[in-house]
Amino acid sequence: MSTPLVTTAIDGGVLTITLADEANRNALSTALVGQFVAAIDQADDDPDVRVVVVTNTGRVFCAGADLSERSGGNQPDTESLKDPSNIFGRIRQSPKPFVGKISGHAVAGGMGLAACMDISVGLTDAKFGFTEVRVGVAPAMISVICLPKMGHAAASEAFLRGNRFDGTEAARLGLINYAVTPDEQDALVEEIVADLLEGGPGGLAGSKQLLQQVPGMTFDEAMAWTARLSASLFQSEEGQEGMKAYLEKRPPRWSPRAG
């Protein structure tokens, strides 16, 4: 059996997805994308999975598209489950929060993958960037992810120059949430995961819906839609339990502190 390019492990309600194709710099090959989508399926289908952490082995988080597959005019079928855009869409649509523990460089499509996480922690000395123009293409699909996080002037410079910048700059641009040193990363990711595990699964899923839906709505549409969402969450079994736990000054049933 061939060595897996993506591995998974579950511990305490946290599914860790690790990109493990070091030889190919965790490029988004057809095989790696297929295994990554299967790991997302695993997260979405398992009610015991509360949080997903995405990380990597080696010095590169993700080098973007697999150019050895794309050269010669080859292009993935955009309807295929193995098209890289499916990873971005699946992470955004998943009801589970995704935390990026970005332990290496992330350029081109890898930059998009890092930016796609709900919360991301990169390294100060890792290299990030939109390097597509250097090989004669453009950051097309990942612009859908990255443009809403960046100011127009910053995006214009980064897309057109194709230069690489460090994690501190990636955080300043809003592409990742934090840039830390390697010895700080584990503790910060653990702190973020602990906070997420205190949130109700339905509340977290609803919050992700807000982030995806509200920016594309008019004011009146947003107010009507969020009123319906709010009512459904307050009336849900989870919402009732959360309010009861708060009034009784105890952890809700989903909290790790509830034992």
Helix (H) or strand (E) holding 155: helix 152-161
In angstroms, the CA 126 to CA 102 distance is 9
What superfamily would CATH give domain 6-196? Answer: 2-enoyl-CoA Hydratase; Chain A, domain 1 (3.90.226.10)
Best CATH choice for the domain 200-258 from the list 3.40.50.300, 1.10.12.10, 2.60.40.10, 2.60.120.10: 1.10.12.10
Q: Is the pLDDT of residue 211 over 70?
A: yes
Which of left, alpha, beta for 71 (phi over 0: left; psi -120 to 50: alpha)? beta
Active-site residues: which are they? Answer: 132
Using one digit for the tens of pLDDT, what is the confidence trace for 4-16? 999 999 999 999 9
Token digits for 197? 């595990």
Residues of the chain with CATH 3.90.226.10: 6-196
In angstroms, the CA 112 to CA 144 distance is 9
Which of left, alpha, beta for 162 (phi over 0: left; psi -120 to 50: alpha)? left
Q: Is the pLDDT of residue 79 over 60?
A: no
Residues of the chain with CATH 1.10.12.10: 200-258
Q: Helix, strand, or coil here: 117?
A: coil
Q: What is the pTM of this model?
A: 0.94
Q: Is the pLDDT of residue 96 over 90?
A: yes
Q: Is the pLDDT of residue 196 over 60?
A: yes
CB atoms within 10 A of CB 220: 8
CA distances from 75 to 131, 156, 209 (A): 19, 26, 31
Using one digit for the tens of pLDDT, what is the confidence trace for 113-145? 999 999 999 999 999 999 999 999 999 999 999
